[in-house]
Structure 1
Amino acid sequence: MSLADKVLAVNNDLPIRTDAPVHNGKVRSVYWLTDADSARLIRERGYDVAADAPLAIMVISDRISAYECIWHGEGGMNGVPGKGAALNAISNHWFRLFRERGLADSHILETPHPLVWIVQKARPVMIEAIARQYITGSMWRSYGKGEREFCGIQIPDGLEKDSKLPELLITPSSKGILKGIPGVPEVDDVNVTRADIENNYAAFSFANTADIDRYENLLSEGFEVISAELAKLDQIFVDTKFEFGYVTDQSGQEKLIYMDEVGTPDSSRIWDGPAYRDGKVVENSKEEFRKLLLNYFPDPDILTNKDRMNERPALASDNALPVEIMMQTSATYLSIAEKITGASLQLSDNPRAEIIDILSSQFGVVV
């Protein structure tokens, strides 16, 4: 069996019973279960959710996106071997630690397969909750152009590239296109200030202003938990993005939870500690893949210049990347996942067949 066979590239065509269109994201696909199947699984599996809570099957793929495009490799390798399993394993690890430390629950109810989550429907907070411990990436580029205010927070002069910030910065951006908020452009992913959120908390889907403090605490405390655990592995937690939402538990109480994924190489920068102390940045995150792309193409300006975004889809679709790039990226994801979880990840020979079998025999949701 070839490596390409081990990759789950297409994850939106599984025979899962649903009355709703499959939501197909860059990496994950979401199948909303029928009301009858949701209610049955809540009873059978004993989930701590409202009896009528909508449930979904969330299937992660091995696709890799960067610079707003999905990339593929030679030999029919339409994803990175092991990437999906690595992301799920890392998120599961951090979500479990958050629960054990008394921070908050997540939307995940069960993990029946390394590529599958059973989740409850959450009402998302319309914020990409970003925390930064080091100045790098887009923030450094803006700083280099003279910017000193980020999301309403002033930072000092004299910082060096990739250096540690004086304190953890919370620099949120909008999730989706939000309308009617003074001073916030009606486009996706724009920086917002704490004052923007406080003055328009309902537009950002917060239940009340107290939950703004709650989300910031969950973000900073979650960051510190991950940072401390990675430090034990001599890895540096540089920056990350969390997402939050509301769910209702068995008793009818609405609560703020973590959702999507946390502390993964897709949503975070993780640097190798020994290399950093030697003055080098070695990425253990998707940043490495981005750098490989920049070094591979003779005109990397297409990938970094926002005025050339319309050229990127053809670049991605017309160029099968060398297997070496895909496998180097696979090694990065698998290595950091195994470091974090303390367990080796076994790649499935036929992930699609395994998923269908488990969802049929154990959950009864396959058509």
Structure 2
Amino acid sequence: MSNYKVLDVNDDLPIRTQGPVHSGKVRSVYWLTEQDSARLIAEKGYAVPQGTELAIMVISDRISAFDCIWQGEQGLNGIPGKGIALNAVAAHWFKQFDAAGLAGNHIVDIPHPYVWIVRKAKTVKVEAIARQYITGSMWRDYAKGIRSFCGIDLPEGLTANQKLDEVLITPSTKGIIEGLDDVPAVDDVNITRKNITDNLDAFNFSSAADVAKYEHLLVQGFNVISAELAKLDQIFVDTKFEFGYVEDMQGNEQLIYIDEVGTPDSSRIWDGPAYRDGKIIENSKEGFRQLLINNVPDSDVLLNKERMAEREQLAQDYKLPVEVMMQVSDTYVGIASKIIGEPLQIPTDPRSEIIAVLKEQYQLID
């Protein structure tokens, strides 16, 4: 462990920005000044229109689960290799999508394994979720007798972890959407296709045709990743994509993929041989969720939304054993190396490397 400096804090880099840094659970976004955006577009020849706003997106090695950030003993406040594992996997799938002729994405440059330069997009307020197996929260609800999910009716007689006949699209809200009679003002609440088409503006869709387009891109993207993972004898179980609008070089609006795709954080990936043997081996964050449930003193705190205050306190106070953190590192680094087809090289001091690259090659640090 002593070989690694994990990047646990990623919102305090000395990058020249316009406005405050937006710090998410895992990534931080530094919006560049108009001058720096214009300079980089010209210098680097990015295929985006002049006037496009650019941002530096820096991933961290932090790990979140159950809406909280978790830390390890001995000051290990992240998972070694996790950040670059996610970035490498998402960038790999984006390349595959390009090769398959699907929509573009928001990445314009990759200066360092921890860093993307991205273009601003008008975000669609839908978490686009696709599922090919009944597991997780869907199975828990099904086992309680629920048969309708996001307006889709499931048949009787399904069993846990069973493959479904087709890829199901089960969207939820991205952020809190106020003022709709048929959609609760809660983040990440399940919605139907009709909820979206009845309220195109609220969900930031330009047209009903684009709702069909996002569904098409979601299923196409799912199938591309699923087919590639099958070659590695890994099963693509379910995933979450996000979409947004940008302008192309001619000034036309385009729907593109944003955020990350097909990563162990945004998807469930199962080991094929184990599944055929009747066992589930998770090659994704789901394994970490199970580790937490098995390790914390009272797992109901994690599963019960009514106990959120206790959960947040637990996440602050509880430190996971280093061997548990390293086990999670092995999962992330292992599946990423498989997907990209070569061993993942973990930087020993990501922070100083990022600063050097952004200063010397991009002139974004004074």
Superposition TM-score, scaled by structure 2 size:
0.99
Q: Which residue of 2 aligns with 1:129?
A: 128
TM-aligned CA deviation for residue 46 of structure 1: 0.9
**CA distance in structure 2 between the aligned counterparts of 1:253 and 1:52, rounded to whole angstroms:** 14
Q: CA deviation at 1:180?
A: 2.1
Report if aligned partners of 1:6, 1:347 keep a CA contact under 8 Å in 2.
Answer: no
Tell me the distance in 1 between the aligned counterparts of 2:272 and 2:181. Answer: 42
Q: Which residue number corresponds to residue 206 of structure 1?
A: 205
Give the aligned partner of residue 265 of structure 1.
Answer: 264
| C-alpha distance in 2 between matches for 1:33 and 1:107 | 15
Q: How far apart are the structure 2 equivalents of 1:298 and 1:110?
A: 44
Q: Is the 8 A contact 1:176 1:189 kept in 2?
A: yes
Residue 357, structure 1, aligned to residue 326, structure 2: no
**1:197-250 CA distance string (max 9 Å, x none):** 111111110111110111000000000000000000000000000000001122
What is the match of residue 251 of structure 1? 250
Provide the C-alpha distance between the structure 2 equivalents of 1:298 and 1:320, rounded to a whole number of angstroms: 12
- Corresponding residue number in structure 1 for 2:2: 2
SS at match of 1:242: strand
How far, CA to CA, are the matches of 1:102 and 1:223 in structure 2? 14
User: Is 1:18–2:28 an aligned residue pair?
Assistant: no
The 3-state SS of whatever aligns with 1:338 is helix
Q: Paired residue for 2:151?
A: 152
Q: How does 1:1-367 map to 2 (within 5 A)?
A: 2-3=2-3, 5-367=4-366
Specify the SS of the correspondent of 2:238.
Answer: strand
Q: CA shift at 1:347, angstroms?
A: 1.1
**Once superposed, what is the RMSD of the aligned Cα atoms?**
0.9
In structure 1, list runs of 5 or more residues that go unmatched. none
Equivalent residue letter for 2:231: K
Question: Which residue identity does 1:290 align to in structure 2?
Answer: R
Deviations, residues 76-132 of structure 1 (Å, cap 9, x unaligned): 111000000000000000000001100011000011100000000010000000000
Structure 2: where are the runs of 5+ without partners? none
Amino acid at match of 2:86: L
Amino acid at match of 2:54: L
The percentage of counterpart residues that share the same residue type is: 65
In structure 2, C-alpha distance between the alignment counterparts of 1:93 and 1:271, rounded to whole Å: 19
- What is the rounded CA distance, in whole Å, between the counterparts of 1:203 and 1:336 in structure 2? 37
Aligned residues: 366
Matched letter for residue 60 of structure 1: I
The separation in 2 between residues aligned to 1:201 and 1:362, in whole angstroms, is: 42
Question: Which residue identity does 2:205 align to in structure 1?
Answer: F
TM-score between both structures, scaled by the size of structure 1:
0.98
Which one-letter code corresponds to 1:266 in the other structure? D
